Amino acid sequence: MSIPSNLRYAESHEWARKEPDNTLTIGITDHAQNALGDIVFIELPAVERIVKVGEEVAVIESVKAASDIYAPVAGEIIAVNTAIVDAPDTLNADPYNAWLFKIKPTNLDDIDALLDATGYAKAIDA
Amino acid sequence: MGADALRAGGPFSFAPERSMAKQTPLYAAHLAAGAKMVDFAGWDMPIHYGSQLDEHKQVRRDAGMFDVSHMLAIDVSGAGAQAYLQHVLANDVAKLTEPGKALYSCLLNHDGGVIDDLIVYAFAHDDYRLVVNAGTADSDLAWLRRQASRLHGGNVTLTARRDLAIIAVQGPNAQAKVWAALPGSEAAAAPLQYFQAARFGDLMICATGYTGEAGYELIVPAGRAVEIWQALAAQGVAPIGLGARDTLRLEAGMNLYGQDMDDGVSPLESGLAWTVDFAGERDFIGRAALEAKPAMRALVGLLLEDRGVLRAHMPVFTEHGEGETTSGSFAPSLNASIAFARVPIGVATGDTVEVEIRGKRLKARVTQTAFVRRGKILVTPLISHP
């Protein structure tokens, strides 16, 4: 299972990538897409929505089940990846490129509370 | 994602205590084929071998095989077998006038609730075989034995056949591939009509299935299951998990026990009136209760006309009152979401209803429950997923 070392992770299986402009790009991990199976529907949040950490912001439906996606940090949704709504299977094929939304953190230090690759590998092994 | 997200919903869940679950004779073959195993009714079963969607499509366009050895065959024999089955089954085995003929029936309790659904095969008037669901197998057997000793003591023998395995081979090319995998079987199997079975050596070849496609269910000695599975694989029959089995049966309009009917619901409110035979005065268990209680609800199909995925237990709002979905999924053959729903009598095919998904009401069209049969799409979506 791929866990890139340049990303940070939430225990609820989202990945977060810090961009040069200090925003975070969010997606779901390889482990998550594998466990969910074939993904067929994605519901994304509204741009400009203000979210709290741990708030449900998106929904991913696989053939098997619906899963909530949580905001890994508090902040404002500044962009969503509308392209994946029309190609939800790219989340299975390429989970670390098929991002869901971008968030501008209220507090940039919040990213330090997320797991690194080693920590996430341990979390999913438990 | 939610903590439970990786544990799945519906009838499937990842087995937390793998060692407790029962295994079929094909367990090692599933692991070798890369299966993801889940707990299903106490059995460690393959949910998919990589992609549930690909497996679904494989069955619709070619041929796939399912290990359904967790289901139980129960042999019913003895001079009183026919009278006994006429008493315990809601459908009438007297219709089985030729050896090998089969019938779909409910097993009802005294309140008219569905204890299980099953297929009964007749070999002779004193020799039948039932195939029942895995989750209800033990309770079915206890119930059947109780009825046998209560009213038919000495005349009926029930034998649970845990020494058998069952492999379903389904798809437009399934029959030809079975004939090729089992040399000599074509002569026995080719003449079979739907719901007819034949013995072939120590196998039973049944022209039945749970996908809406052509094919067979092979009831085989457990010791031969691996050899037959491999012979089918050599003919290009791909293994298919329980995940695709569920979407295939849903598209085909076939009920799943425990979801679309159960012991608290009448078969007449579960789309199963066609399986309850009220002809004549036959005294079958549940008859009096069904006759005393007219159906107030009906099981219908729903096709979601907005984007989203229908699941079981979503509220349905109609002009005639509220109902509830009993099964729902993304339908790979339609590229849209479908469901079965139990709704008030009066709701008609073509009506538009609303289904509540995560607090939002989405539009759905009322349809027949069969969406796909023999690869043909019977209900066309207006909008579809990408």
pTM beyond 0.90: the answer is: yes
| Gap between the terminal Cα atoms of chain A | 15
Q: Which domains does chain A have, with CATH numbers?
A: 8-107 (2.40.50.100)
Report in angstroms the alpha-carbon separations of B294 from B112, B114, B262, B274, B297: 11, 16, 17, 15, 9
Mutation pick from A63, A85, A124 vs chain B, by most beta carbons of B within 10 Å, is A63
**Contact check, Cβ <8 Å, A64/B2:** no
Helical residues (DSSP H) of A1-126, grouped into ranges: 30-36, 90-93, 117-125
Residue B332 forms contact with A (CB below 8 Å): yes
Q: Which domains does chain B have, with CATH numbers?
A: 5-68+163-250 (3.30.1360.120), 72-160 (3.30.70.1400), 296-377 (2.40.30.110)
**Contact check, Cβ <8 Å, A41/B330:** yes
pLDDT of B2: 56
Residue A87 forms contact with B (CB below 8 Å): yes
Residue A40 forms contact with B (CB below 8 Å): yes
Residue of B nearest to A28 (CA): B1
* Contacts with B47 (C-beta within 8 Å, 6 or more apart), sequence order: A37, A64, B12, B35, B36, B37, B38, B40, B241, B242, B243
**Contact check, Cβ <8 Å, B1/A38:** no
Query: What pLDDT, in 10s, does the model give residues A23-56?
Result: 999 999 999 999 999 999 999 999 999 999 999 9
DSSP for B312-333 reads TT-EEEETTEEEEEEEEEEETT
Q: Which residues of A touch B48 (CB under 8 A)?
A: 37
**Contact check, Cβ <8 Å, B51/A66:** no
CB neighbours of residue B360 within 10 Å: 11
Which amino acid does the sequence have at B209? G
Residue B3 forms contact with A (CB below 8 Å): yes
Instruction: Give me the residues of A, 97-126, that contact B with CB < 8 A.
Output: none
Residue A52 forms contact with B (CB below 8 Å): no
pLDDT of A86: 92
pLDDT tens track, chain B, 386 positions: 654 444 444 334 444 444 579 999 999 999 999 999 999 999 999 999 999 999 999 999 999 999 999 999 999 999 999 999 999 999 999 999 999 999 999 999 999 999 999 999 999 999 999 999 999 999 999 999 999 998 777 799 999 999 999 999 999 999 999 999 999 999 999 999 999 999 999 999 999 999 999 999 999 999 999 999 999 999 999 999 999 999 999 999 999 999 999 999 999 999 999 999 999 999 999 999 999 999 999 999 999 999 999 999 999 999 999 999 999 999 999 999 999 999 999 999 999 999 999 999 999 999 999 999 998 999 988 665 54
| A1 — pLDDT class (breaks 50, 70, 90) | confident
Residue A75 C-alpha, separation from nearest chain B C-alpha, in angstroms? 18
Residue B200 C-alpha, separation from nearest chain A C-alpha, in angstroms? 37
What value does the CA radius of gyration of chain B take, rounded to a whole number of Å?
A: 21
Residue A32 C-alpha, separation from nearest chain B C-alpha, in angstroms? 7
pLDDT of B154: 75
**Contact check, Cβ <8 Å, B53/A38:** yes
Determine the Cα–Cα distance for residues B350 and B119; give it in Å rounded to an integer.
Answer: 32
